[in-house]
Structure 1
Amino acid sequence: MTDENRRNKLKFRAWRRGFREMDLLIGSFADATLESLDAAGLDEFERLLNVPDWEVYAWLIGHEPVPPQHAGPVLDQLIAFRYAAQSG
């Protein structure tokens, strides 16, 4: 699979989470950042998409700490993106 195909599939998944708030947040994040992510970043984003919505949402809104196995630069970017989108 080419990087372009992979990015397109990840964007599709990001916009179809099944939890509207997560669709908007993760989908918008994917649109804004996937083109700039390297292979490791895409891997991390894909792992985040495999985590249930309610878990990721709890991390994003600060209700639960991020487990060490899910911490990383892409999640940090997503958290920052969430706060930037909220304030803008």
Structure 2
Amino acid sequence: MAELLEHRLKRLKMRSMRRGIKEMDIILTAYADRNLQDMDGAGLDLYEAMLHENDQDLYQWVTGQVQAPDPYGALIADIAQTFQK
């Protein structure tokens, strides 16, 4: 059975909040709160795949220390913009 959208959004928000690094908790929670509701299925799929990445890597990508790999480049850039606001 397919997961209801509201359940998926709730699950992704929880995964955004409970990371290994406090900074990523803050960054991803803010991003999830502002953006997940407006994402289409493909966007949510990409975000969910990104959540499987290592927090150390995500932090380096978001802060610009290391270039984010494809297919995450545009998503990481968007997250970085949210973080800088």
TM-score, structure 2 length as denominator? 0.90
**CA deviation vs aligned residue, 1:28-73 (integer Å, no higher than 9, x gap):** 111111111110110111011000000010011111011123223x
Structure 1: distance between partners of 2:61 and 2:20: 18
1:60 pairs with 53, 62, 66, which one? 62
Residue in 2 aligned with 1:79?
A: 80
Which runs of 5 or more residues in structure 2 are unaligned?
none
Contact 2:30 2:82 in 1 (8 A): no
Shift of 1:19: 0.8
Q: Which has the higher helix share?
A: 1
Residue in 2 aligned with 1:47?
A: 49
Residue in 2 aligned with 1:20?
A: 22
Shift of 1:7: 0.4
TM-score, structure 1 length as denominator? 0.87
Structure 1: distance between partners of 2:70 and 2:84: 21
2:35 pairs with 24, 33, 36, which one? 33
Residue in 1 aligned with 2:8?
A: 6
Which runs of 5 or more residues in structure 1 are unaligned?
none
- Size of the aligned set, in residue pairs, is 83
Query: Percent of counterpart pairs with the same letter?
Result: 31
